[in-house]
Amino acid sequence: MVNDTTLLFGLDGVQVVRVMLDDDENPILALVTASEQARCCPGCGMRSQHAHSWVRTRPRDLPVAGRRTALTWTKRRWRCRNAACERATFTESVPQIPPRARLTGRLRASIGAAVADRGRTVIQAARDHEVSWPIAQTAFAAHTRLALPAETPQVARLGIDEIRRGKARFRLVPGEGGDEKWEVVADKWHVGMVDLGGGAGLLGQVEGRTAETLSAWIEAQSPQWRAGVQVVAIDMCTVFKAAIRTSLPHAALVVDRFHVAQLANTALTEVRRRVTVQARGRRGRKGNREWELRNRLTRAGTRMHAKHLDPMIDDLRALPAKIGIPILKAWNVKEDLMDLLALHGTHPDRAQISALLIRFYENAAACGLPEITRLAGTVSTWWPQILAAITTGVTNAGSEGTNRVIKTDARTAYGYRNPANQRLRARAATTRRARGHLTTHTSGPHAQPRRRSKA
């Protein structure tokens, strides 16, 4: 009959026969085998009737009631009398304590879950459970293989974005004519594929920012998976564009509006810096009104209060003409583009889009600024993808958020030496919500139902 201590201990296959205390008042549990299956030979499966000797092991387990608990398991070594079996003897084992195991299965599972599900680093989990780093890493890898889906989840909206793994490294090499030049030794990038609609998080990563590596990952998926992808969101990267056109020709390609707005603000900043240097002979600094307005200029006018917007325009007009007029023209063109991007997700008709696009092109051509001309040329090149973003309302914000989680995880771990370990940690960190291991809201606008325990 199972005693209460065995029920409290809760390790299947063994029974607690005695509890002692060590010098530090920590419990020591004496265990015996309670599973009849443990007498079956692991080689042939035949149940043995012939004992060989007694064996005592001391596997590590989780703390009990907050106290470090030691185990002493007294078990049998049996003889296998099956002539066809290669094993002569074997010791008893249970699923939670395999043969020659120094840790119980639930201790390894707790170590793996601490890293994969609770956001700890491998070294933190190792210290908390008093094991070495290799043991904790192995437990994390085993837990992740079981937690993550074996096949890539089906997605309708796919986001693609890159993230740098560490800093680039260069070296000086001999060049032509005896001159030396810098050569890139290591410039590692990870390209991630993210589910933008279903909440599956990071689907996978490939090392190397090339069309070939991205196409290889897409081609490795099933034909049904590739056929199910309807929209792909990217930034303005020709590498991603070439890979999608090759491997997913049927999918609608979307350029994220954030990168278009960022490009417009960059062009405005370049105009401000150039005219300041030309007029003042130096860079802008405190006391130069155009420099003091640098952050306000890059904000969307529709998101600014009139008490900030009107004085800014008045200050630009009050500046010397060589500085204020070009900046004001560039700002107006930037605002025209922002008005066009503001139609994103509003289901506009073609007349609205055409009117705002024509106004942007006309003002860009009339201002005569090379930075704005270059901006208009980039918008013209990527206009089909920008138009797809406006009409579909799809953004690549999910990929950007995933990259933020990956960077935070890398900072917590103080960087990685092994790219494979980094990709595994990134996949585990960015899929916690999909696997139900993030704190859910029980009230408010983002309320989610509580997870019910299984009966």
The reply to whether 107 falls in a domain is no
Domain boundary among 102, 123, 146: 102
Domain range for residue 15? 1-102
Q: H or E element: which one contains 339?
A: helix 321-341
CATH number at 420 reads 3.30.420
3-state SS class at 174: strand
Neighbours of 149 (CB within 10 A): 11
One domain, residues 204 and 274: no
Given this model, what pLDDT does residue 455 score?
Answer: 44
Among 35, 68, 102, the domain boundary falls at: 102
Do 79 and 165 share a domain, yes or no?
A: no
Q: How far apart are CA 14 and CA 206, in angstroms?
A: 45
* 188, 216: one domain: yes
Give me the residue label for tokens 């015996």: 32
Of 392, 420, 438, which residue constitutes the final position of a domain?
392
**Same domain (yes/no): 161, 243:** yes
Based on the fold, state whether residues 19 and 65 are members of the same structural domain: yes
In a domain, 108, yes or no: no
Residues across the chain: 455
Residues 302 and 228 in one domain: no
CA-to-CA separations, 396 to 13, 85, 231, 232, 255, in angstroms, rounded = 50, 59, 11, 9, 8
CA pair distance 128, 134, nearest whole angstrom: 14
Would residue 267 count as lying in a domain?
Answer: yes
Rounded to whole angstroms, what are the CA distances from 89 to 14, 47, 82, 214, 269?
21, 12, 11, 52, 78
326 inside domain: yes
CB 328 within 8 A of CB 321: no
Same domain, residue pair 385 and 415: no
228 CA to centre of own chain:
22
Answer whether residue 283 is part of any domain: yes
Q: What angle do CA 379, 380, 381 make, to 5 degrees?
A: 90
Same domain (yes/no): 202, 310: no
Q: Which residue has the tokens 């937690």?
A: 147
Q: Is residue 438 part of a domain?
A: no
| Residue 264 shares a structural domain with residue 385 | yes
pTM for the full predicted model: 0.80
Q: Is 418 found in the same domain as 311? A: no
Look at residue 131 and tell me if it is in a domain: no
Helix 122-129 with 105-116: angle, nearest 10 deg = 150
Residues of the chain with pLDDT below 70 are 1, 186-187, 439-455
Work out how many domains the chain is built from and give that number.
3
Any domain includes 138: no
Degrees, nearest 5: CA angle 352-356-359? 145
Verify that 357 and 315 share a domain, yes or no. Answer: yes
**265 shares its domain with 374:** yes
